[in-house]
């Protein structure tokens, strides 16, 4: 486990370096100004006659900002993962498609076979890479009524629950089996879900994701 955590930290740091380098928003434009990628703002380093006008035109926060888990899921489904080439389930690499209001995985595209729950395995759900339990179980709202209470009464938890950087499309059965288990290297082959490289150790409350997703998982935790 220690070895796996170390690998996650190393991958996280390596992937973070380009972000840190670009966080300032790039070079200055002709007016000595630039966009702030991190905050969405705009400011200038060199005084110019156009500076005041440029600042006045800086983008303002949207009045339709996403603030709930339900809004985040809808935005991800309808706007972020709307193209066919983006519609790939996170842990399984199964392709999926929209059928009416439902997102349906194509088992044949990844060799998926349900472990136990074929009904839940037949739909795509939105998984918190860092589990909602990890985010909120120590907060007072959780201790007074669980996740539903936090979603209803705690603004900070609700914001974290709706963080789209932490949400990925996942086959429902895998989402359910993962629960709030930690990531670890379990060892042995991958046989629980057909040929999908994902496994769950229910006794140890641990899961092992495919190697191709470990970097993204590390970034989600680091963020």
User: Under a CB-based contact definition with an 8 Å cutoff, are residues 44 and 55 in contact?
Assistant: yes
State yes or no: pLDDT of 6 exceeds 60.
no
Say how far apart CA 94 and CA 209 lie, in whole Å.
14
Query: pLDDT digit string (tens) for 134-155?
Result: 999 999 999 999 999 999 999 9
pLDDT above 90 covers what percent of the chain? 68
Q: What is the mean pLDDT of the chain?
A: 81
Query: pLDDT digit string (tens) for 21-54?
Result: 334 444 555 555 555 555 555 455 444 333 333 3
Arithmetic mean of pLDDT, 69-91: 95
Pairs from 144-152 (Cβ < 8 Å, separation ≥ 24): 151/68, 151/69
pLDDT at res. 223 = 80
Arithmetic mean of pLDDT, 166-188: 97
Query: pLDDT digit string (tens) for 199-220?
Result: 999 999 999 999 999 999 999 9
Say how far apart CA 33 and CA 27 lie, in whole Å.
8
The label of the residue with tokens 């037949």 reads 122
């Amino acid at each position: 486990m220690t070895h796996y955590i170390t690998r996650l930290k190393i991958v996280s740091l390596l992937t973070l370096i380009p972000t840190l380098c670009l966080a300032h928003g790039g070079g200055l434009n002709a007016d000595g100004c630039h966009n702030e990628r991190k905050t969405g703002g705009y400011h200038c380093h060199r005084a110019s006659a156009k500076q005041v006008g440029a600042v006045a035109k800086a983008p303002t926060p949207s009045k339709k900002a996403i603030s709930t888990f339900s809004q985040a899921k809808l935005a991800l489904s309808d706007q972020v993962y709307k193209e066919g080439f983006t519609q790939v389930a996170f842990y399984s690499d199964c392709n999926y498609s929209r059928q009416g209001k439902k997102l349906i995985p194509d088992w044949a595209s990844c060799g998926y076979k349900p472990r136990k729950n074929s009904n839940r395995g037949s739909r795509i759900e939105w998984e918190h890479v860092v589990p909602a339990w990890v985010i909120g179980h120590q907060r007072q709202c959780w201790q007074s009524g669980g996740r539903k209470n936090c979603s209803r009464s705690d603004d900070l938890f609700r914001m974290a629950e709706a963080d789209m950087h932490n949400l990925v499309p996942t086959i429902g059965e895998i989402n359910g089996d993962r629960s709030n288990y930690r990531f670890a290297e379990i060892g042995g082959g991958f046989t629980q879900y057909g040929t999908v490289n994902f496994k769950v150790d229910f006794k140890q409350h641990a899961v092992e994701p495919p190697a191709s997703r470990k970097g993204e998982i590390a970034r989600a935790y680091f963020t």
